[in-house]
Amino acid sequence: MKRLVMIVGLLVGFVALTQAQEDVTVIKLDQTPGKFEKEGLNLKPGKYIFEVTNVGVDHELGFVIAPVTQGKEGDHIKAGYLGKTIKDGETSRSKVVVLEEGTYNYFCPLNPTPHYQITVKK
C-alpha cells in the first residue's frame, strides 16, 4: 500500500511539473559577431526562457534583459542571465523570466551587441 501511495504521489508531482513547464515559452536566439539574428521581439505577457546559441563568436557570450521605463533602461532581470557564458557552438538557457506588459531591452555586454527591444502587450 505504501508503494502504491508513493507511485501515485510521484505521478501527481510529474503531472504538476509538466503543466508548469507548458506555461513557459522558450525563445531561441542566435548570437553572431556583433548582433543577435532576431532584432526585436513582440510577445504577450507570460513566462519565458531565453535560449541563446553562440554562432561563430570567438569568445564567451552572455545575455541580459532589462526593463525600459520612461525611455531609460532599468536594472537587469537576474533570472534572464544565462546559466553560464557560452563559447562558439554552445547553447545556454536563462531561468524563467516573467514579462509583464511593457518594453524591455535584450543585449550581450560581452559581444557587444545593440540593445534590441522586446515589446510585451496583450
How far, in Å, CA of 108 to CA of 61, rounded? 7
Q: State pTM to two decimals.
A: 0.82
Is residue 38 within 8 A of residue 50, CB to CB? The reply is: no
Residue 66 is assigned to a structural domain of this protein: yes
How many domains is the chain partitioned into structurally?
1
Q: Which residues fall within 8 angstroms of residue 62, CB to CB, at 6 or more apart? A: 81, 82, 85, 86, 108, 109, 110
C-alpha cell at 42: 513582440
Map grid coordinates 526585436 to a residue.
Answer: 40
Residue 46's pLDDT is 98
pLDDT (tens digit, 9 = 90+) per residue, 53-100?
999 999 999 999 999 999 999 999 999 999 999 999 999 999 999 999
User: Domain for residue 102, yes or no?
Assistant: yes
CATH of the domain at 90: 2.60.40.420
Q: What's the domain range around 35?
A: 24-120
